[in-house]
Amino acid sequence: MKFKEFRQAGHWPTLLSAFLYFDVSFMVWVMLGPLALYITQELGLPVGEKFTIVAIPILSGAILRIPLGMLADHFGPKRTGVLAQALVIAGLVYVFFFSLHSKLEVELLGLLLGVAGASFSVALPQASRWYPPQYQGIVMGIAGAGNMGVVLDSMIVPWLAETYGWQSVFGFLTLPLLLVLIIYAVLVKDAPEKRRPVTWKNYAALMADADTWWFMFFYSITFGGFVGLGNALPLYFTNWYHVSGIAAGMMSAIVVFGGSMFRPLGGLIADRIGGIKALQILFVIVSLSYLSISFLPEGPLPAAAQATDAKVAGWAFDDLPRVAWVAVAIFFVGAMALGMGNGSVFQLVPLRFRGEIGVMTGLVGAAGGVGGFFLAKALGLSWDLQHGFAAGFSVFAGLPLLGLLGLTWVKRRWRTTWGAVSGARV
């Protein structure tokens, strides 16, 4: 790929704005992951309910992606993006001033944070429509790499909560949202191609297409795994390896960094060798990672002298036991494959559904969110049933293998039909 040609092929201010918009939106969407350590501790919730709390924004974001995608097609991605961002900012400001006092209020907040997660249906089609088929993998990878916002969450949120209290975190996170909203409103430009009005009939028509369900299933594995881990890992690390809140955040940041930064590489590789081949390799890596994690033993409890004196106490980051670092390494490899898988899936989607990319982004993105919800929920159920996480990870180790079988089933048909006339490697 020649950078000069790529730069001239589309509209880079829109690509940059879509990346920033998705980045801060994703950051807010998954903020309950690390923040739940502090909020649920104050509310006295059991471990299983904590995993439910962090799963709610994921499911809400999944459901809201479809109506937000429809709004983007009707009124334009720019207007929809500005409106959604303003709504999320209003919610953060409310919690900053009035706090949260019950489980119900936290759950309602989770529903609102889903609006930020639904930004996927705005940012990715907005960037995609500016670029030709041969650049779809890298474009969708760059725009989708905005999910690195979860890295910032994991690193910053626990420290802010420890230092200033969890309520202040909502005020701090409002600032980058306001800044990006201004940049987005000034720089972004909707693509000149005419948008076709989207109705529920459009969704029904696509849902009747078998390829839609395959893409939804594949993305529920890749993106679902990434966002599910992004939200659940702080709770997993604190309960299984007995680390402090700040240490859990840093461990999670290392893991999700791999998934975020390697997404564009996944799209680039898919452009070169084809999304199907790339996914086949990545599904194997993901399955082996989940399976390996399921066999890791629980970490040792820290002695009183080794535990941090913090609101969420445990092993300090500098003193983590060896098994905790082994888990981080395995999770990093798995998250890297998940992130690259996200880029690979969205190398294929615009090739198959170019004219319906807005609708398909909503459907496929929703499936990804549902996958993340079930991953976080499965880990909570696993803890309730066996006081461990092996069962939850074992189940999700099997899903990529089913995805591998699915790719084997469809690859010949895809490559000899729409793939043959797409103008790109499939």
User: How far is C-alpha 152 from the chain's CA centre?
Assistant: 13
Across-strand partners of 315?
A: 243, 307
Which residues have CB under 8 Å from 125's CB, separation 6+? 69, 72, 77, 357, 358, 361
For the stretch 251-284, pLDDT in tens is 999 999 988 888 888 888 998 999 999 999 999 9
Per-residue model confidence (pLDDT) at position 350: 86
Strand ranges inside 26-105, DSSP E: none
Phi, psi at residue 231, to the nearest 5°?
A: -85, -35
Residue 99 banded pLDDT, cuts 50, 70, 90: very high
Q: In terms of residues, how long is the chain?
A: 426
Residue 51 banded pLDDT, cuts 50, 70, 90: very high
Range with the lowest mean pLDDT among 103-112, 128-137, 386-395, 406-415? 128-137
- Is the domain spanning 11-183+196-418 CATH 3.10.560.10? The answer is no
Strand ranges inside 83-153, DSSP E: none
pLDDT-above-70 percentage for the chain: 95
User: Which of 135-139, 156-160, 311-315 holds the top average pLDDT?
Assistant: 156-160
Q: What is the 3-class SS of 368-409, one letter each residue?
A: HHHHHHHHHHHHHHHHHHHCCCHHHHHHHHHHHHHHHHHHHH
- Considering only residues 119 and 102, tell me which one the structure prediction assigns the higher pLDDT: 102
DSSP secondary structure of 281-298: HHHHHHHHHHHHHHTPPP
420 CB neighbour count, 10 Å cutoff: 10
Sign of CA dihedral 251, 252, 253, 259: positive
Phi, psi at residue 307, to the nearest 5°?
A: -75, 145
CA–CA dist 221, 350 (Å, integer): 19
- In single-letter form, the type of residue at position 96 comes to F
Q: Which value, to the nearest 10 degrees, does the dihedral of the CA atoms of residues 258, 331, 149, 91 take?
A: 170
State the DSSP code for 413: H
- In single-letter form, the type of residue at position 55 comes to A
Residue 215 banded pLDDT, cuts 50, 70, 90: very high
Per-residue model confidence (pLDDT) at position 240: 97
For the stretch 396-405, pLDDT in tens is 999 999 999 9
Residue 327 banded pLDDT, cuts 50, 70, 90: very high
Q: Where are the domains of the chain?
A: 11-183+196-418
Per-residue model confidence (pLDDT) at position 12: 83
